[in-house]
Chains A and B, each alone.
Chain A
Amino acid sequence: MRKQVIKLSEKSVKLSPVFRRNRAPRYSAAALLWRGVRNDSWPRVWREPPLKKSYDAVVVGGGVHGLATAYYLAANHGITDVAVLDKAYLGSGGSGRNTAIVRSNYLTPEGVAFYDRSLDLYNTMSADLNLNVMFSERGHLTLAHTDSAVRTMRWRAEVNKLQNIDSSVIGPDEIKKIAPSLDTSPNTRYPILAALYHPPGGTIRHDAVVWAYARAADAYGVDMHQQTEVVDIVCEGGDGPDGKGPGAKVTGVRTSKGDISTPVVINCTAGWASLIAAMAGLKLPITTHPLQAAVTEPVKVFLPTVVVSGSLHVYVSQTDRGELVFGASVDPFATYDMRGTLDFTEELAGHVLELMPAVSQMRLLRQWAGLCDITPDYSPVMGFTPVEGFLCDVGWGTYGFKAGPVSGEQMAKCVADQATPDLISPFALSRFDDGVLVGEKGAAAVGH
């Protein structure tokens, strides 16, 4: 029923041969029962191999994007001599800190096509990767509190409908039917005038996505090295110092556990992207901002959809355990500091109560922050760079999680074909030279 507007290479992801290997036993209810009855312990999910001296490709950053790239390199293109390096543990960055919301109701046709493909991959991920990622397609409401916001919603809905995305503008009465806990009365400070309703949106268990990709990539023979920090990227032939900079060619990576020689380095480090790019002598159009989130104590399930309010800078969903997960907009200044702040909590609480006065007695359990790599046009930077062999999949800002699978798929294709796939060509670094920016701020800045 859905039409792909930008044609993808339909090399479908067939995983059956992978799990014939012993080290990745198939997960199933029968296996659970069998092991439960026999009181067997489960084997380790992925290996911890020693660092080799050389790899065909090195992925820096072991989050959803890095692991998906490594996985699709192996699964779709047969490139299995790949290392994934992470300075901490897999999924320790944004992949484990986001609010786990997925959707595809973006504003630009490029963005819509891209995220819709991602949603498709998320839809079939549990079956494809044989790990339950708990995808809950519960619908996504983006509230509009001002006339201009209603206009943007209508615009987004029309762009979405043209691409066959289920997305429509609904009024307060319908909103009240979908989410009765929302205060849709006209007597609030910011009355809810309308909402963009996107039924295919939902939430997914972000840790499970990381584990699923790691496990599947490991089964193909991809090496994952945790606690392995990249300290330098070795280049030759460039204009800058040490042969780095535009025109250079990557020859290897220096890590805290030893040197690796490799012709391809893929930067999937999100908030730390500028630091890795600087090691190759490149500057990126990226600033790093923290995005804070918080979670309440669990209560009975009362909120059936994801609710987002751009004007109130808040998005909220309820987990299967019953906790409300809140997120907000990024802190307004660049920093690598991930401390939570009181003014975030206060502002968040005020805005949530504005939307749902009934939760006033709920208590917050904890808050945290993740680092977001924000670009000037709120679209990512993907594909080749002026340094040969150094590729980027960065600039994901506050919306990287929902794009993880498709980014990995397309970056793998980019590396294997040595050409930029159509789907990510709008997001090339060279768009800043050419002045062809992809403005997604209207749909990406707060709405998650």
Chain B
Amino acid sequence: MLLVPCPHCGPRNSADMSYQGEASSRPDPSSTTPSQWRDYLYMEHNPAGWLKENWYCSSGCRRFFTVERHTVTSEFREPPLPGSKTALPLSKTTETGADTDQQGGES
């Protein structure tokens, strides 16, 4: 069991969520080779460390969100904001809910 930090509902049992896998950006269909599609569809980094991933809050707010999770220690942290290289500690998001609303709602 994990306590998954939904940016809208707060920490929720992972059983309330639906795991969506590694976060990767969809390639542009007009310029993508078959092998790039294959990579996007099937290939995974599957690191033993920090992993940027998507969750769907299926029993709560029903929104998709992106977090970073350490796949060995099961810690969570916020993914870095666009343009910044460092990840945010998660405690910040639970204190300032308004802040997280803007970055959390990725579909």
Contact = CB atoms under 8 A, between A and B. Distances in A.
A284 B39 CA distance: 9
B13 to A, nearest CB: 8
Contacts of A275: 46-48
Interface string A97-134: 00000000000000000000000000000000000000
Nearest to B15: A343
Given A283-B44, A286-B46, 18 more contacts: A274-B44, A274-B45, A275-B48, A284-B44, A284-B46, A285-B42, A288-B71, A334-B22, A334-B53, A335-B69, A336-B72, A339-B74, A341-B1, A343-B1, A343-B13, A344-B1, A432-B41, A432-B43
B43 A283 contact: yes
B65 to A, nearest CB: 14
A34 B49 CA distance: 53
Interface residues of B, number: 28
Nearest to A373: B46
Contacts of B41: 376, 432
Nearest to A273: B46
Given A275-B48, A287-B21, A343-B1, A333 B14 contact: yes
A332 B16 CA distance: 11
Contacts of A285: 42-44
A254 to B, nearest CB: 18
Given A332-B14, A337-B71, A343-B1, A288 B35 contact: no
Given A284-B46, A341-B1, A334 B51 contact: yes
A284 B42 CA distance: 8
Q: Is the interface of B mostly helix, strand, loop or mixed?
A: mixed
Nearest to A344: B1
A400 B96 CA distance: 46
B19 A332 contact: yes
Contacts of B85: none
Contacts of B71: 288, 334-337
Given A283-B44, A286-B46, A336-B72, A433 B34 contact: yes
Interface in B19-78: 19, 21-22, 34-35, 38-39, 41-48, 51, 53, 69, 71-74
Given A334-B51, A334-B71, A283 B34 contact: no
16 contacts: A275-B47, A283-B39, A284-B44, A286-B44, A286-B46, A287-B22, A287-B46, A288-B48, A332-B18, A332-B19, A333-B19, A334-B19, A334-B44, A335-B69, A343-B13, A343-B15
A288 B45 CA distance: 10
Contacts of A335: 69, 71-72, 74
Contacts of A341: 1
A30 interface: no
Given A335-B74, A337-B73, A432 B38 contact: yes
Interface of B: 1-2, 13-15, 18-19, 21-22, 34-35, 38-39, 41-48, 51, 53, 69, 71-74
Contacts of A334: 19, 21-22, 44, 46, 51, 53, 71
A337 B73 CA distance: 7
A37 interface: no
Contacts of A333: 2, 14, 19, 53
Contacts of A33: none
A433 B38 contact: yes
A29 interface: no
A437 to B, nearest CB: 9
B74 A274 contact: no
A1 interface: no
The 10 closest A-B pairs by CB, nearest first: A274-B46, A285-B42, A283-B43, A333-B19, A341-B1, A432-B42, A343-B1, A336-B48, A335-B71, A336-B72
Nearest to A338: B72
A432 B39 CA distance: 9
B86 to A, nearest CB: 23
B8 to A, nearest CB: 19
Contacts of B43: 283-285, 432
B42 to A, nearest CB: 4
Nearest to B44: A287
Contacts of A336: 48, 71-72
Q: Which among A285, A334, A341 has the highest number of chain B CB atoms within 10 Å?
A: A334
Contacts of A272: 48
A381 to B, nearest CB: 10
Interface centre among B34, B42, B74 (most CB of A within 10 A): B42
Nearest to A246: B35
Contacts of B1: 341-344
